Amino acid sequence: MNRSIRRIAVAFMVLFLALLANANYIQVFQASDLNDRSDNKRVTLDEYARERGPIMVGGTQVAYSVKTKDDLVYLRRYRDPQLYGHLTGYYSYVLGRRGLEKAENSVLSGTDDRLFVRRIVDLITNRQPQGGSVLLTINPKAQQAAYDALGNKRGAVVAIEPSTGKILAMVSKPTYDPNRLSSHDANSILKAANELQDDSSRPMENRAAQRRYPPGSTFKLVTAAAALSSGRYNPNSQLPAPAELDLPLTTFNMKNWQNGLCGPAPQVTLTQALATSCNTAFGGLGLKVGEKALRQQAEKFGFGQEYLPDLGASTSVFPREVNPPQLAQSSIGQFDVAATPLQMAMVSAGIANGGKVMQPYVVAKVSGPDLKTLEVTEPRTLSQAVSGDVAQQLTQMMVDVVDHGTGQPVKIDGVSVAGKTGTAQTTPDKPPYAWFTSFAPANAPQVAVAVVIEHADVGRNEISGGRLAAPVAKAVMRAVIGR
C-alpha cells in the first residue's frame, strides 16, 4: 500500500517538475517570441496603452502615435503614407504589424531588452512608458524625386549610397495608405484590407525589394564584369556581333534589338557592345566566358543572397544547369535570370565603389525614448565583386553608354554619369519592362540608382529603357548631388 502511494507521489512530483520547467522555459526562452507575435492581443492591448515611438526620415516623423479617447489609447498615424508606406508598413490592431513596424517593434513599443532599466525607472516613478525611435537612411529629397518622376507608371526605384550601402530612396508604385489599416475601426480595416488584397495591381507589394523581374540588358554589366575579370578581355577586345547569333542545339537565332548589325561591321569592341547593347555580341561572349564564371560573378554582386530581411526582400536568381542556348539568353538577362530593382542598384553601386559591394541597409539608428542612441548601423562589405581596375574599366564603359550610346537621356549638365539601359521581354502578348541603372558622378560616386517600369509599351527595343526609365534615374541622381 505504501509502495503504491510512494509511486503516485513520485509521479506527481515528476509532473510538477515538468510543469515548472515548462513554465520557466516559456517565460525565459519563449517570452520574446510570444510577445512579438502579431496575434497576441494581450500584448497588443498593452502596447496600445503606451505611446509608440516614431519612425523618422531626416527630422520628420513619418510614423507616429496620437492619443485618443477610446479603449485603444493611442492611434498610429502615417505622414506622407503613399511615399513611405512600403517602408514603414503598418501597425494594426486587427492585422498585426508589417514592414519596419514589425522588424523594429521591440524598440518602437519600448519592450527591447536594452530599454529594461528605463522600464524599471518608469515603473518606480509611475511614469507612462514610451517606445524608442527608428531613424531611416532615406534621403527625403531623393525619395520625393523618385516618387514624382515615376508618376502614374507601375514600377519601382531604388537609390543606394555606393560607399556605405545606405538606401537613399525606395519607391514602389502603385502604393497604398497604411492609415486605412491602422484605424481603431475593425470593420473599416477589414474592408480596406480586402480591397487591397483583391487589387490585381498588388499595391501592398514593395516592388523595389520584393518583386523579381528579368533584368534584360542591365545584366550585361555582370557579363562584362565576368569577361574583364577573366583576364582574357579588355574594353577594346573585338567581339563577333552578327545580325543573328546561331545558338547551338536549337533552330532559334538570337537577334539584336536593332534588327540588324549593332554597328557598321559584324564586329565591335566590348565597349561598343555595351554602348549599343548588342545582344549577339553579349550572347556569344557569355558562351565563351562560361556558365560557372557567369554565375560566380552574379553571386559576387549579390545574386543568391539574402539582405534587407526587415523589408522581406526577395533573393535574386541566376539559373542553374543551363544548356548553351539558355546560357546565351542568360548572358543578356533573359531566360530564368530574375533580379529585384534593389539587386540591380547594388550592381551599379558595386562598380561605383571600386568593385566593393556593400550590405544594403535602411535603418540608420535606433534610440530610446530619452533619445539616447541604442544602436548605429555600421557599413559592412558584402563582397569584392570585381577588382578596382575592372571597376574602373566598367565605369568608363558605362560613361560611354551615356555619352554615345542608349543612355543619353540620363545626361546631366556638368556631371559625368555612368549608366546602362535595359529592356526585358516578357511574353509576346505583353509589353516589355524598361530598365535603367546608373551612378553619378562617375568620378566620385554619391548615388547609384536602378529603375524598372512595367508595361513599357513604347516599342520592344532597347531605347525604351532610355526613354522611360532613364529620366526617373536622372531625377533621383540630381536630387542627391544637388544639380
Cα–Cα distance, 468 to 479 (Å, whole number): 18
Q: What is the DSSP letter of 177?
A: -
Answer whether 479's CB lies under 8 Å from 472's CB. no
What proportions of the chain, in percent to the nearest 5, are helix, strand and coil? 45, 20, 35
> Where are the strands (E) in 211-319, listed by range?
238-240, 244-246, 253-255, 267-269
Answer whether 357's CB lies under 8 Å from 385's CB. yes
Instruction: Look at residue 277 and give its three-state secondary structure.
Output: coil
Residue that the C-alpha cell 547609384 belongs to: 448
182 burial (CB, 10 Å; 0-12 / 13-18 / 19+) is buried
Beta bridge partners of 482: none
Residue that the C-alpha cell 484605424 belongs to: 183
241 burial (CB, 10 Å; 0-12 / 13-18 / 19+) is buried
Answer whether 79's CB lies under 8 Å from 62's CB. yes
Helices 341-352 & 388-404, crossing angle to 10 degrees? Answer: 110
Written as one string, the DSSP assignment of 245-257 is EE-TTSS-EEE-T
C-alpha cell at 197: 488584397
Catalytic residue among 65, 92, 182, 217: 217
230 is annotated as an active-site residue = no
Cα–Cα distance, 162 to 168 (Å, whole number): 10
- Helix ranges restricted to H, 332-456: 341-352, 388-404
Active site residues: 217
